[in-house]
């Protein structure tokens, strides 16, 4: 077998005794499970380890694979500079995996390295592997903003590369679980935190890789996980292989979830190829969502699809629209997503058209074709797009951030002619300070400049 096993492990720095200085005993189950996982890897006698980490350089549209012949790192930033790991890179396996990825249309390679040193997401698994006597070369791969299926496909490329080169390879997926498990934790608490940990540990315990690929992206975002895409690459590396899954531990006493799982390869199993099932699940999800769209969202979809297919904007509104769409005037934002990734968002703070309906018609086309952050939407993307429409209430000036609520109010930050706006209730925007910071940056307004604040409410249609 090209991939002889895999492990999914966390990376809390304090698990290293010189860093934890006794605190590691509070996650003793994780320490014991980590050592057991590393012992299993040693038993598999790998020629190479493929290690995915959330803390290497990450790009939205590119898989970065660490270049060079070797790397090293230490725990200096965590107060233990003497704890050091050195590794050599398996350049041949890296080169073959990149070649296969490019053949599949995946943007992957060694460009764009910002820091050659081992990040802590790599260092900690390697520290335990070294302790267990595993000293083989590695390939270190970062995550991306691509879809779950593209992460899965990259893992499959690594498995194919190992097979072609005759390598016995082990995949190590480094990643913590939710960072929001406790109110007294460093990142606070949200209900989605424990729910995420429950779902992902169940999937790991059962070897349910389809679940890893199809978990709700909003849940993952709100739970502030960091390992999901790492686990998805691992799942791809195990594509078509029978595995014995074991969840060795799960705990989160510091407010961050730590899970350790081992996957021993026992043979081949064609039923464990999850790409087709994942695509079908996504098709069903999109069809159900489209069927449930309200008239505001249906109008946005009709507007953009008409423009992309014909090159002309809508000239007449469809029959049967609710009266408020045709009679009311208001600013409106149209947002496009593909899976969990934003694909475009354009809107108007105040009304510029004769009705909300025409505001949506114009802004839907702009969101799909004129958002400077993205290339224009292509016809092949139309079926995968998800739409939301935010109809804005009238902005009102406020004198203090204390008058904001990230769930209820959007914010407008103004400095002279520069303005930045952020909608309310966005995944990953949990504090007023963060909300203002993003809006300020969108407006090109410096942190030390004097600015004014306005707030507004929205009616969101999805």
| Mean of pLDDT values over 414-432 | 91
- Give the pLDDT confidence score for residue 389 in this predicted structure: 97
114-117 long-range contacts, CB within 8 A, separation 24+:
114/57, 115/57, 116/66, 116/68, 116/71, 117/71, 117/72, 117/73
Residue at a domain's end among 387, 411, 440: 387
Tell me the per-residue pLDDT of 352-380, one tens digit each, with 9 for 90 and over: 999 999 999 999 999 999 999 999 999 99
Whether residue 128 sits in one domain with residue 22: yes
Residue 235's closest CA among 150, 312, 137? 150
Whether residue 421 sits in one domain with residue 342: no
- Give the pLDDT confidence score for residue 218 in this predicted structure: 87
Q: How far apart are CA 37 and CA 18, in angstroms?
A: 21
Q: Is 218 helix (H, G, I), strand (E, B) or coil?
A: helix
Q: Which residues lie closer than 8 Å to 264 by C-beta, 6 or more apart?
A: 5, 40, 243, 244, 246
> DSSP labels for 117-175?
SPPHHHHHHHHHHHHTT----EEEEE-BSS-HHHHHHHHHHHHHHHHHHT--EEEEEE-
| Mean of pLDDT values over 86-90 | 98
DSSP collapsed to 3 states, 89-110: ECHHHHHHHHHHHHHCCCCEEC
Whether residue 418 sits in one domain with residue 312: no
Whether residue 93 sits in one domain with residue 125: yes
Residue at a domain's end among 357, 387, 417: 387
Whether residue 147 sits in one domain with residue 31: yes
| Mean of pLDDT values over 94-104 | 97
- Give the pLDDT confidence score for residue 159 in this predicted structure: 98
Whether residue 303 sits in one domain with residue 274: no
Name the CA dihedral angle for 214, 58, 30, 254, rounded to a multiple of 10 degrees. -90
Count other C-beta atoms under 10 Å from residue 298's C-beta. Answer: 17
Whether residue 336 sits in one domain with residue 247: no
285 lies in some domain: no
| Mean of pLDDT values over 59-83 | 95
pLDDT band at 139 (very low <50, low <70, confident <90, very high): very high
Whether residue 413 sits in one domain with residue 378: no
286 lies in some domain: no
Helices 148-165, 228-237: axis angle to 10 degrees equals: 40
Whether residue 172 sits in one domain with residue 71: yes
- Length, in residues, of the chain: 462
pLDDT band at 427 (very low <50, low <70, confident <90, very high): confident
- Give the pLDDT confidence score for residue 279 in this predicted structure: 93
- Give the pLDDT confidence score for residue 339 in this predicted structure: 83
- Give the pLDDT confidence score for residue 401 in this predicted structure: 94
Q: How far apart are CA 222 and CA 201, in angstroms?
A: 17
Query: CATH number of the domain that 340 lies in?
Result: 3.30.700.20
Do 424 and 407 form a contact (C-beta atoms < 8 A)? yes
Query: CATH number of the domain that 201 lies in?
Result: 3.40.830.10
- Give the pLDDT confidence score for residue 168 in this predicted structure: 97
pLDDT band at 60 (very low <50, low <70, confident <90, very high): confident
**459 pairs with which residues across the strands?**
391
Residue at a domain's end among 356, 387, 418: 387
Alpha helices (H) along 166-216: 192-206, 209-214
Tell me the per-residue pLDDT of 270-320, one tens digit each, with 9 for 90 and over: 999 999 999 999 999 999 999 999 999 999 999 999 999 999 999 999 999
pLDDT band at 50 (very low <50, low <70, confident <90, very high): very high
- Give the pLDDT confidence score for residue 340 in this predicted structure: 79
Do 76 and 18 form a contact (C-beta atoms < 8 A)? no
287 lies in some domain: no
Q: Is 49 helix (H, G, I), strand (E, B) or coil?
A: strand
> How many independent structural domains does the chain possess?
3
Q: How far apart are CA 178 and CA 195, in angstroms?
A: 9
Percent of the chain surpassing pLDDT 70: 100
Residue 346's closest CA among 327, 366, 329, 361? 366
Count other C-beta atoms under 10 Å from residue 404's C-beta. Answer: 20
Q: How far apart are CA 153 and CA 443, in angstroms?
A: 37
**70 pairs with which residues across the strands?**
88
Q: Which two tokens stand for residue 415?
A: 């400095």
Whether the per-residue pLDDT at 1 is higher than 80: the answer is: no
Chain centroid, CA 134 distance in Å = 30
Residue-number span of the structural domain to which 412 is assigned = 393-462
Residue 231's closest CA among 253, 214, 244? 214
Q: How far apart are CA 408 and CA 393, in angstroms?
A: 12
Do 215 and 238 form a contact (C-beta atoms < 8 A)? no
| Mean of pLDDT values over 30-56 | 98
- Give the pLDDT confidence score for residue 243 in this predicted structure: 98
Tell me the per-residue pLDDT of 173-224, one tens digit each, with 9 for 90 and over: 999 999 999 999 999 999 999 999 999 999 999 999 999 999 998 899 999 9
Q: Give the containing element (helix H, strand E) for 373.
A: none
Whether residue 334 sits in one domain with residue 448: no
Whether residue 249 sits in one domain with residue 338: no
- Give the pLDDT confidence score for residue 328 in this predicted structure: 95
Q: Give the containing element (helix H, strand E) for 329.
A: none
């Amino acid at each position: 077998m090209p991939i002889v096993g895999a492990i999914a492990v966390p990376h809390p720095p304090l698990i290293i005794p010189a860093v934890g200085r006794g605190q590691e005993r509070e996650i003793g189950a994780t320490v014991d499970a980590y050592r057991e996982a590393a012992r299993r890897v040693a038993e598999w006698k790998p020629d190479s380890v493929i290690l995915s980490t959330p803390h290497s350089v990450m790009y939205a549209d590119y898989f970065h694979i660490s270049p060079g012949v070797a790397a090293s790192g230490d725990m200096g930033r965590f107060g233990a500079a003497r704890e050091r790991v050195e590794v050599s890179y398996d350049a041949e396996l890296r080169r073959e995996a990149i070649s296969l990825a490019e053949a599949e249309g995946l943007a992957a390679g060694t460009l764009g390295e910002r820091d050659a040193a081992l990040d802590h997401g790599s260092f900690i698994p390697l520290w335990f592997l070294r302790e267990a006597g595993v000293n083989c070369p590695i390939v270190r791969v970062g995550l991306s903003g691509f879809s779950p299926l593209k992460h899965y496909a990259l893992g499959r490329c690594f498995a194919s590369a190992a097979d072609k080169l005759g390598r016995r390879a082990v995949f190590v997926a480094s990643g913590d679980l939710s960072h929001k498990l406790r109110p007294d934790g460093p990142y606070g608490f949200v209900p989605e935190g424990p729910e995420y940990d429950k779902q992902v540990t169940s999937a790991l315990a059962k070897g349910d890789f389809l679940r890893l690929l199809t978990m709700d992206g909003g849940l993952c975002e709100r739970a502030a996980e960091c390992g999901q895409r790492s686990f998805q690459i691992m799942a791809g590396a195990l594509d078509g292989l029978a595995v014995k899954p074991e969840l060795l531990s799960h705990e989160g006493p510091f407010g961050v979830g730590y899970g350790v799982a081992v996957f021993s390869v026992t043979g081949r199993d064609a039923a464990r190829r999850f790409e087709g099932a994942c695509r079908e699940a996504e098709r069903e999800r999109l069809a159900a969502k489209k069927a449930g769209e309200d008239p505001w969202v249906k109008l946005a979809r009709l507007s953009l699809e008409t423009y992309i297919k014909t090159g002309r904007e809508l000239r007449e509104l469809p029959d049967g629209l609710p009266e408020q769409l045709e009679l009311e005037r208001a600013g409106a934002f149209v947002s496009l997503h593909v899976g969990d990734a934003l694909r475009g968002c354009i809107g108007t703070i105040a009304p510029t058209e004769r009705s909300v309906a025409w505001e949506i018609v114009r802004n839907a086309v702009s969101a799909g074709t004129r958002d400077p952050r993205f290339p224009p939407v292509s016809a092949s993307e139309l079926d995968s797009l998800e739409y939301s429409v935010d109809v804005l209430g009238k902005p009102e000036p406020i004198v203090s951030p204390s008058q904001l609520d990230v769930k209820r109010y959007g914010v407008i930050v103004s400095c002279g002619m520069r303005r930045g706006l952020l909608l309310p209730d966005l995944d990953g925007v949990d504090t007023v300070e963060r909300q203002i910071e993003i809006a300020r940056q969108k407006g090109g307004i410096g942190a030390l400049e004097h600015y004014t604040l306005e707030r507004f409410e929205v009616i969101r249609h999805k």
